[in-house]
Structure 1
Amino acid sequence: MKKIILSLILGIMLLPMSVKADEGMWFLMFIERLNHRDMEKMGLQLTSEEIYSINHHSLKDAIVQFNGGCTAELISKDGLVLTNHHCGYDAVAELSTAAKNLLKDGYWAESRKEEKKPSSLYVRFFVRMDDVSKRILSKVNDKMTELEREKAVNQEIALIEKENNEGGKYTVSVRPFFQGNEYYYFVYQDYKDVRLVGVPPESLGKFGGDTDNWEWPRHTADFSMFRIYADKNGNPADYSENNVPLIPKHYLPVNLGGVKEGDFAMILGYPGRTNRWMPAGGIEQNVKFSYPAWVEGAKTGMDNMKKYMNQSDALRLVYASKFASTANYWKNRQGMIDALTKFGTAKSKAGQEAKFDKWANKKENKAKYGNVIKNINKFYSLTNEKARHDNYLQQLFRTTAFGTSGRTIGKQLDNYVKADAVKRITMAPAITEMVDEMFKELYLPAEKDLLAAQLNLYATKSKGYAIAPMVDKIGKETNYDFTKYVNAALELSILTSKERIKAFLDLPSQGLLDNDPLYALSNDMISHLNSKSDEIAKAQNDYGASFRLLVEGLRESKIGTIKYPDANSTLRLTYGKVRALPADKRNDAKINNYTTMDGMVKKYKKGDEEFDLPVRLIDLNKSKNYGRFADKDGSMHVNFLTDNDITGGNSGSPVLNGKGELIGLAFDGNIEAMAGDVIFDPKLQRTINVDIRYVLWVIENFSGAKHVVDEMTLVK
């Protein structure tokens, strides 16, 4: 323990002292030294120990990472978990059928026995963290290549993770920060028996659809509820009817008082990825090469999925999750292009780098930093066209079922062929299960259209960088109409039929697999994506070292203004205030920091996929039947704004007041500040949140599930 405390003190002393109140995604272990005083001035009433403690229960114990990509929070003594509707979307879609469509109609379990278990869903509790920078960096030196450095780092990481997992009880993750200049380890505990408690109908949970996504004003009930189960001793356990609801170390009380302009707001969550140290060349590459290809590839996938989703509810369920994910990033990347271009972010970064280059080439700095900017810019100039190419190909992989078959089902069959007879017996059931799951999420006629359209886009638009050889050959032979080839390939391939795959398991053949047209095509594309010329490989090695030195030098020279590490799916705290945007005639609210149910009903379009509403909600709103969840002004507040600094992965994060009470649920950002992953804009950056009172109203008044609300600790 003494070693841990000493490490914490040294880590705190090494971190920069200057902070900005609203900007920053902060480590909880440093809040006492770096943030607590600022937070108190803004309205925090908790001690730092009440937020983060190793030895006692604290706020951190109520926050979980949800299924690896979102955040959630415990809100009852019986393990009730709240997260976003879009975070629970896959699980709800899996539990839905055309006959009983929970995604469309909503669902609330009337008892614990009716809570539904998806096949794969887990939550991750954060236990503790510590600084291991000195230990890891002592294993590397400047003479190493990036691959040699990575190998040495990974070897030490493996040792650290083994030392701290207590025989497999915990999951331990060592992560790099400040571009590999610092390292911390994180200890987690995973619970895998997580069951659906309830979800509003899609017309509320996704109200506004793609049109309103990333926009303000919003009127969305973006929430869903689950429950964590454990064994009788509170330990993680596989699903069993004998499991009991988890009794958490801490859960969040729910505040019914509402919010007003200037109120303190704190968010804890697992932000996925920011790139605020990204060089100017990287921003330029994204804006002009990577993101346009991403947007076009995503739109091609969405158009072809939608064509079939519109045919039936059953097909809509098949592609619901993939479409939602694709659409979310499609709009995000277009917003990034627009925002980064509008604000001239690459130009401002280039100005900073020019100052750095001047400092770097001073006599005392030249040996270490002199070539940093030159190496970084060389790498981007060599890879701009490859970045465009790679994004077209990656969207093919993301939106088609068989594009990546070479490394999914095809790879499993390849391993099966090469295994001996005894090992095959143990492998077959897992492959069969994988196949059954795979075919739940595809429809062959749709997959034919998706693959043909994406191949055409990839082959005709990736002109600045050589495309995969097999795709190139087929394209030239068919005048880039891939329809006939794809139709034939899917008819002939063993990978497109459960029966053929299971027959292959009975009589495996390496020759049959190697000559499978889909397997060969997928392997050709995957191999090409992962290949690079010697020139690019050398530039990439120099870039890795130079980017690390750029971040180190920016911190050392004080030219850099960023005082916190980029987000990387580790638990962070961000704090700010409830804060309005300029008045907007589209919002009926008195102050443009919240929206009302009246405003939502004004958007209502009967039968519209994005703006339809249940008749019951319209009737309840007409009678102003808001119950105990109405605001002081008599209206039903739906969503509200804060100026917290969040990104993807924060979806589902709790918004807390100064007492640590739940006031809302973060679910989105505004498109005007879409460049936020690269540069924080204090004027425009906003977090869009569901008002917790609207969440409770939907559960109790609209859905009639008061028993769920009764589990919570409500504070007036």
Structure 2
Amino acid sequence: MKYIKLLFLLAVFPLFAQQGGMWIPSLLEGMNEKEMKELGMQMSAKDIYDVNNSSLKDAVPHFNGGCTSEVISPKGLLLTNHHCGYSMIQSHSTLENDYLTDGFWAKDLNEELPNPGTSVTFIVKIADVTKQVLEGTHHLNTESEIQQKIQTNISQLVNNYPKEDWQENRVKTFYEGNQYMLFVVETFKDIRLVGAPPSSIGKFGSDTDNWVWPRHTGDFSLFRIYADKNNRPAEYAADNVPYTPKHYLPISLDGIAEDDFTLVFGFPGRTQEYLPAVAVEQIVNELNPAKIAIRDAALKVQDEFMRNDQQIKIQYASKYARIANYWKKWIGENQGLTKSNAIAVKKAHEQVFQEWIKKAGKDEMYGHLIPDFEKYYDEIGPYALSRDYFYEIVNRNVELLKIGYQLVQLELVLNSKGEQAFMARKGNLINRLAATYKDYNKNVDENVFKALIDIYAKDAPKNFLPNSLKNIDPSALTTKVYLTSALTSYDSLKTLLEGNPEEVIGKLQNDPGYSLVYDIAKTYHMQVEPVYNQLNLEIQALQRTYMKALLELSPQDARIFPDANSTLRVTYGTVKGYSPKDAVYYEPVTYLEGVIEKYVPNDYEFDVPEKLLELYNKKDYGAYSENGKLPVCFIGTNHTTGGNSGSPAIDSNGNLIGLNFDRVWEGTMSDIYYDPAICRNIMVDIRYVLFIIDKYAEADNLIAEMTLVHPKKNKNKKRSRKRN
């Protein structure tokens, strides 16, 4: 019966599903190219990635290290998500010019707004350097020695691999250290804001609709890449010129239909598809619930203030969205992993894996892996949980504690590197914190602190709780800190940091906010971090060997792709609806009618701009409608994650058809376990993007830059525009 149950689980929930995958674009020839063509792709693998000729990769840069973007004109016009450009839009917003609320559209180059610190990075070349990186490691005995040698080899490669002077070499690990790839990249640092719809379009549905289908969000913003006179990367300068790309994406006006081929190109951040069952069990039962509770408490406080004060709403909009994003993701992830029976499936696969080991005569080499995983995850459990409490509360969600922790690190610089390094770090910190305090509200942070410090004291593992949080009165502690600490304002902080290192440290140690953070951080760094790091190193070594065993012993047709690691990847699929539960089926496309159905006047999340209502009432959709309706969003089977925000959705001929921005809630567990039945990515239809630019914003200058095509009608030429 046990064996029959095992076979049933693997039949219904196969580990290596015949969909999904995040593939390295330089390695698509073969199985991937064949499969893409079977799904309807008309391009070749070289059209997607080519070192010697322009290809799709040359139009898809990494946006500011966290999102993806795409070049859509010969003048370096860049498209990404509204939420990817949100902090830039916010930084230019004031009560007088509230671009978050009203939107922003530059009608010529002179109106485009610079964004210091923002960058985009193009991939020039990808090379497999596994042999060079692992050279000299096979005779080493300990994991720390192996990692040290690997880092030495990587440094030599980065320094010596051929590149142009303005380019950079980066080495990334794949398959848990079983493969290494070198990326030659070039980074542009003059990126200017060109256009953004109001948040009532770009963020429509806000947190209620986040990770949810049906979706009706125009999640896009426009930037432009500027270069020097030689078309090379340069810091911002008034005489820089729009970048001329090696390739830019034509835009299809023909739209999509169910089962159409879709290719999503981008920089997915992190997945953990090959975790053992015991690790997934720990995530579902311990780690995710703790993080969800912390962020839930922080969000409730911030939301109440934001709904009652427009200035606070502007200050905290980006922070709130950032906190809420993964809070809701973790909730959906837990639900999806439970619904998909992922833990049981992984346990069943591990039994099959043990049979593969026996059959191959590899017991001595691989037979210890699953028992060792169970041993080390049991040991690391309380340390991992303590680590999450520390990072979520001290380093992410309470701003006073986050600032205090940066000051603790400043003191550590003095102890480790001396006075000169201390003074340099102090100056940089003072300058950097100016932006933090610009969007800081003492009352909001005080209430967040009170809620979260109570959670820390009550729920974190007691063995690793600092003395300052034992048997506390949260209200009294909160009042003491926020009445007397200099960390609650920028002016008092700067005063606190005046003087020589000895004077500064003396003042810091007498500050109650700093003293609290110091005690929490000291306990964490002495009792939690060292043991966690050592156990995690052992787990990483096991995971590398486990990955090697999977690659070696799995059937030849198993779809074993490397986990995401913020490197350029291709994921392909089709436009497809899905059934999340019994008697419920979701169509793959939404329309503007759905926006109107959700419309709630003056609501924080579901308000609709007056002009959009007028265009809807007149059915004034221009060239962007389909059978009298305006498409807004669609879903597909592409395997995406964080970092794919802003990724282009590309049709079978290499034209832009949409802009990836989310996943459905039922499928957010795809970072850990991809289930093709319910995992769907969400894309804004490019026709809705064009409609907003053209009909809503009347930004003719931007439409005129683009190449608009009709591939389904075999018209591969620029559209002559008509105004309705």
Asked if these proteins are the same fold (TM beyond 0.5), I'd say yes
Given candidates 544, 547, 552, the residue that maps to 1:551 is: 547
1:516 aligns with 2:511: yes
Distance 2:426 2:370 in 1: 52
Q: 1:698 to 1:372 in 2, by over 3 A?
A: same
Shift of 1:538: 5.8
1:15-62 deviations in Å (ceiling 9; x for gaps): xxx997642111111112232222223222222222111111111000
Is the CA contact 2:383–2:528 (under 8 Å) kept in the aligned structure 1?
no
Distance 1:627 1:621 in 2: 11
Give the equivalent residue in structure 2 for 1:3.
none
Look up the SS of the partner of 2:113 in the other structure.
coil
Give the equivalent residue in structure 2 for 1:306.
303
Where structure 1 has 5 or more consecutive residues not aligned to the other structure, the ranges are 1-17
Look up the SS of the partner of 2:463 in the other structure.
coil
The within-5 A match list for 1:167-566 is 169-360=166-357, 364-396=361-393, 397-412=395-410, 415=413, 429-463=427-461, 465-472=462-469, 475-476=470-471, 478=472, 481-508=473-500, 509=503, 510-530=505-525, 531-532=527-528, 539-558=535-554, 561-566=558-563
Give the equivalent residue in structure 2 for 1:599.
594
Is the CA contact 1:274–1:567 (under 8 Å) kept in the aligned structure 2?
yes
Q: 1:19 to 1:358 in 2, by over 3 A?
A: closer
Distance 2:357 2:289 in 1: 34
Look up the SS of the partner of 1:650 in the other structure.
coil
Look up the SS of the partner of 1:35 in the other structure.
helix
1:488-522 deviations in Å (ceiling 9; x for gaps): 22443343333333334442312222343322322
Shift of 1:394: 2.2
Shift of 1:424: 7.2
Distance 1:242 1:537 in 2: 48
Distance 2:417 2:26 in 1: 48
Distance 1:24 1:402 in 2: 41
Shift of 1:119: 2.9
Give the equivalent residue in structure 1 for 2:704.
710
Given candidates 561, 570, 574, the residue that maps to 1:573 is: 570
Per mean C-alpha deviation after superposition, the further-off stretch among 61-70 and 482-491 is 482-491
Look up the SS of the partner of 2:507 in the other structure.
helix
Is the CA contact 2:579–2:678 (under 8 Å) kept in the aligned structure 1?
no
Is the CA contact 1:193–1:230 (under 8 Å) kept in the aligned structure 2?
yes
Question: Counterpart amino acid of 2:316?
Answer: Y
Question: Counterpart amino acid of 1:675?
Answer: M
Is the CA contact 2:694–2:700 (under 8 Å) kept in the aligned structure 1?
yes
Give the equivalent residue in structure 2 for 1:670.
664
Q: 1:439 to 1:539 in 2, by over 3 A?
A: closer
Per mean C-alpha deviation after superposition, the further-off stretch among 410-419 and 451-460 is 410-419
1:302-336 deviations in Å (ceiling 9; x for gaps): 11222322232211121111110111111100001
Look up the SS of the partner of 2:464 in the other structure.
coil
Per mean C-alpha deviation after superposition, the further-off stretch among 388-397 and 23-32 is 388-397
1:679 aligns with 2:702: no
Q: 1:630 to 1:185 in 2, by over 3 A?
A: same
Q: 1:413 to 1:205 in 2, by over 3 A?
A: same
Question: Counterpart amino acid of 1:604?
Answer: Y
Is the CA contact 1:322–1:399 (under 8 Å) kept in the aligned structure 2?
no
Give the equivalent residue in structure 1 for 2:12.
none
1:192-247 deviations in Å (ceiling 9; x for gaps): 11011010010111111111111111111010000011111111111111111101
Shift of 1:91: 0.9
Is the CA contact 1:375–1:542 (under 8 Å) kept in the aligned structure 2?
no
1:138 aligns with 2:130: no
1:689 aligns with 2:686: no
1:457-507 deviations in Å (ceiling 9; x for gaps): 1110124x52331343xx41x3xx323223322443343333333334442
Q: 1:222 to 1:617 in 2, by over 3 A?
A: same
Distance 1:89 1:439 in 2: 18
Q: 1:528 to 1:155 in 2, by over 3 A?
A: farther
Is the CA contact 2:575–2:635 (under 8 Å) kept in the aligned structure 1?
yes
Is the CA contact 1:361–1:369 (under 8 Å) kept in the aligned structure 2?
no
1:77-111 deviations in Å (ceiling 9; x for gaps): 11100001111111111111122110111110121
Distance 1:162 1:620 in 2: 56
Distance 1:425 1:399 in 2: 28
Question: Counterpart amino acid of 2:660?
Answer: A
Q: Percent identity?
A: 35
Shift of 1:543: 2.3
Look up the SS of the partner of 1:260 in the other structure.
coil
Q: TM-score normalized by structure 1?
A: 0.91
Distance 1:617 1:454 in 2: 41
Question: Counterpart amino acid of 1:517?
Answer: P
Question: Counterpart amino acid of 1:492?
Answer: T
Look up the SS of the partner of 1:710 in the other structure.
helix
1:117-168 deviations in Å (ceiling 9; x for gaps): 1232111111111111122222323753322222221121111111237476
Question: Counterpart amino acid of 1:445?
Answer: N
Is the CA contact 1:64–1:123 (under 8 Å) kept in the aligned structure 2?
yes
Q: TM-score normalized by structure 2?
A: 0.90
Is the CA contact 2:17–2:675 (under 8 Å) kept in the aligned structure 1?
no
Shift of 1:351: 1.3
Question: Counterpart amino acid of 1:352?
Answer: H
Q: 1:535 to 1:99 in 2, by over 3 A?
A: closer
Question: Counterpart amino acid of 1:593?
Answer: P
Distance 1:585 1:108 in 2: 45
Distance 1:341 1:147 in 2: 36
Is the CA contact 1:468–1:524 (under 8 Å) kept in the aligned structure 2?
no
Distance 1:157 1:406 in 2: 35
Distance 1:418 1:554 in 2: 43
Q: 1:21 to 1:266 in 2, by over 3 A?
A: farther
Per mean C-alpha deviation after superposition, the further-off stretch among 82-91 and 165-174 is 165-174
Is the CA contact 1:410–1:495 (under 8 Å) kept in the aligned structure 2?
no
The within-5 A match list for 1:74-89 is 74-89=71-86
Question: Counterpart amino acid of 2:706?
Answer: M
Q: Aligned pairs, how many?
A: 690
Per mean C-alpha deviation after superposition, the further-off stretch among 500-509 and 282-291 is 500-509
Where structure 2 has 5 or more consecutive residues not aligned to the other structure, the ranges are 1-14, 711-724
Look up the SS of the partner of 2:107 in the other structure.
coil
Look up the SS of the partner of 1:169 in the other structure.
coil
Distance 1:407 1:535 in 2: 21
Is the CA contact 1:584–1:592 (under 8 Å) kept in the aligned structure 2?
no
Distance 2:494 2:248 in 1: 47
Q: 1:538 to 1:230 in 2, by over 3 A?
A: closer
Distance 1:584 1:547 in 2: 34
Give the equivalent residue in structure 2 for 1:616.
611
Distance 2:423 2:580 in 1: 66
Give the equivalent residue in structure 1 for 2:11.
none
Question: Counterpart amino acid of 2:549?
Answer: G
